[in-house]
């Protein structure tokens, strides 16, 4: 059978995780054994496109957006490449036409838990509605690839807008509990990430990097690695900035049926989080300047953070 050929990324069965996403390309690696029956959809069986794009980003709105996507073939297998050209088209309502809104180059990033990965790119889009992207690149196997994917652009994001004031959420600290497992599901937590509440960090006139993630209960298996990337940034940049990991569940040590029973912390609502993990960079004035949905490397976080440590904020 094919193991992990297609992964259904079902976000948690709560108001926070109420969306199901086909997260095929980021977690899939071809582990083929004795079966020749790959998991493919009925559309693919009946002659759908040779390659299909899958949008991973869930919270895109008018303005600047970081879009994450991948490409699979008819067998449901990921098709990686170094870079990809993408064109974003607005689908004109009630008309059989589309308008080019932005073109850019997407880069491929390896996923932390497998040999797979995703493409990421920055798009500037000015009209809410339905969009389609055309994806063109040369695969690692030197094959020309064309794929398409579609998404909905909202008028306003649910997460804090870039340039907006970061919510001064009161979040749990190590000093609040006798056992660190009561405020984080990380198996080997970096205690430095639990020294401050978000509201305290925002009062210190320093940039802040905050990661919302649940390492032990993450559907994408990237929350633990994402918190690890935050520790790397802390080690490289040091006390010029503050660093916080926020566990999204209350009392993550209280488990029933392999799920926490305490519900979500209030900061989830306050930051409008539709998924996890999320990483935010807040400047020393308390304004959200950068945000990343899903896994983001320490290098990318550090590069953006340094902009605000070099007098650019």
Q: Is the pLDDT of residue 5 over 50?
A: no
- pTM of the full predicted structure? 0.82
Distance of CA 224 to the CA centre of its chain: 13
Q: Is residue 213 part of a domain?
A: yes
The pLDDT tens digits for 215-266 are 999 887 889 999 999 999 999 999 999 999 999 999 999 999 888 998 999 9
Dist CA 45 CA 179 (whole Å): 52
The pLDDT tens digits for 10-53 are 333 333 443 333 343 344 332 222 333 322 333 444 456 899 99
Q: Is residue 234 part of a domain?
A: yes
Dist CA 4 CA 27 (whole Å): 7
Total domain count, the chain: 2
Short-list 23, 1, 22, CA closest to 295: 23
Dist CA 90 CA 150 (whole Å): 10
Dist CA 100 CA 303 (whole Å): 30
What pLDDT, on the 0 to 100 scale, is given for residue 42? Answer: 36
For 27, the domain range is 2-153
Short-list 133, 117, 23, 120, CA closest to 79: 117
The pLDDT tens digits for 133-177 are 999 999 999 999 999 999 999 999 999 999 999 999 999 999 999
Please tell me whether residues 113 and 245 are part of one structural domain.
no
Q: Is residue 25 part of a domain?
A: yes
Q: Is residue 180 part of a domain?
A: yes
Q: Is residue 282 part of a domain?
A: yes
Q: Are 87 and 100 in contact (CB under 8 A)?
A: yes
Please tell me whether residues 143 and 8 are part of one structural domain.
yes
Strand 117-125, strand 98-110: pairing: antiparallel
Short-list 25, 235, 53, CA closest to 134: 53
What pLDDT, on the 0 to 100 scale, is given for residue 107? Answer: 95
Q: Is the pLDDT of residue 6 over 50?
A: no
Helix pair 298-307, 223-237: axis angle to 10 deg:
40
The pLDDT tens digits for 108-131 are 988 775 557 889 999 999 999 999
At 82, which CATH number?
Answer: 2.60.40
Burial track 201-224 (b if 16+ CB lie within 10 A, e otherwise): bbeeebbbbbbbbbbbbbbbbbbb
Please tell me whether residues 128 and 199 are part of one structural domain.
no
Q: How far is CA 211 from CA 68, 97, 173, 215, in A?
A: 18, 40, 14, 11
Please tell me whether residues 27 and 104 are part of one structural domain.
yes
Dist CA 146 CA 112 (whole Å): 26
Please tell me whether residues 149 and 188 are part of one structural domain.
no
Neighbours of 125 (CB within 10 A): 19
Q: Is the pLDDT of residue 188 over 80?
A: yes
Q: Is residue 158 part of a domain?
A: no
Please tell me whether residues 220 and 126 are part of one structural domain.
no
């Amino acid at each position: 059978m094919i193991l992990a050929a297609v992964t259904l990324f079902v976000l948690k069965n709560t108001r926070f995780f109420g969306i199901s996403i086909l997260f095929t390309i980021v977690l899939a690696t071809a582990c083929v054994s004795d079966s020749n029956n790959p998991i493919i959809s009925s559309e693919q069986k009946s002659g759908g496109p040779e390659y299909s794009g899958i949008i991973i980003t869930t919270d895109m709105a008018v303005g600047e957006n970081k879009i994450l996507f991948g490409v699979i073939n008819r067998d449901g297998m990921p098709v990686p490449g170094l870079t990809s050209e993408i064109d974003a088209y607005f689908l004109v309502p009630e008309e059989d036409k589309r308008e080019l809104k932005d073109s850019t180059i997407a880069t491929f990033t390896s996923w932390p838990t497998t040999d797979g990965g995703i493409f990421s790119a920055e798009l500037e889009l000015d009209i809410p509605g339905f969009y389609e992207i055309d994806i063109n690149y040369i695969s690692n196997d030197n094959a020309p690839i064309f794929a398409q994917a579609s998404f909905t652009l909202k008028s306003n994001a649910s997460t804090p807008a870039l340039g907006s004031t970061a919510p001064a959420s009161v979040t749990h600290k190590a000093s609040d509990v006798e056992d660190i497992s009561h405020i984080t599901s990380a198996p080997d937590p970096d205690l430095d990430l639990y020294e401050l509440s978000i509201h305290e960090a925002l009062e210190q006139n320093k940039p802040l990097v905050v990661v919302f993630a649940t390492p032990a209960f993450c559907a994408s298996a990237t929350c633990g690695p994402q918190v690890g990337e935050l520790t790397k940034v802390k080690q490289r940049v040091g006390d010029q900035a503050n660093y916080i990991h926020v566990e999204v569940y209350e009392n993550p040590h209280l488990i029933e049926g392999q799920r926490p029973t305490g519900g979500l912390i209030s900061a989830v609502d306050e930051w409008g989080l539709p998924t996890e993990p999320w990483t935010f960079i807040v400047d020393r004035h308390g304004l959200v300047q950068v945000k990343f949905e899903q896994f983001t490397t320490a290098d990318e976080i550090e590069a953006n953070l340094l902009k605000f440590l070099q007098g650019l904020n």
